[in-house]
Amino acid sequence: MGKRLIRVPPGFKHPGIEHDDPIPGAHFEILYGLDASACTSYQVYEDVTEGTPISPVFDSVDALQQWLDREGYSKAAAAAFIAEGSAPSFVVGADGEVLSGIDGLGKKSG
């Protein structure tokens, strides 16, 4: 459990977000009935709870990559997260180093 990349419709608004209090997991019911062809955008969710958005909605992988870069992730880590679609909360390396899950994916792929 950690972060997950969710496909959403363009301009998707997670329930409760307009009141700055997203309702965990509320996206499941809305997205469940949608045809996959309607979900052409991307949004990063934390999934330690039932899931709340932690990013804006992006209309392209390039825009998502740029956001992850601005959030401080290496290009390798961001690319690995996008390819994998999810990352754990954190990873502990053989040397005892604790990294965010996304950063850990970058080390694994690098």
Domain ranges within the chain, ordered by starting residue? 1-59, 73-110
Residue whose structure tokens are 């997260």? 81
Question: Could you give the CA distance from residue 56 to residue 44 in angstroms, rounded to a whole number?
Answer: 8
pLDDT single digits (tens) 56-97: 999 999 999 999 999 999 999 999 999 999 998 888 877 888
What average pLDDT does range 40-59 have in this prediction?
A: 91
Given a contact cutoff of 8 angstroms between Cβ atoms, the answer to whether 81 and 5 are in contact is yes
Backbone angles phi, psi at 58, to 5 degrees: -115, 135
Virtual torsion, Cα 3, 10, 69, 79, nearest 10 deg? 70
Q: What tokens appear for 17 in the block? A: 């977000």
| Mean pLDDT for the stretch of residues 3-15 | 94
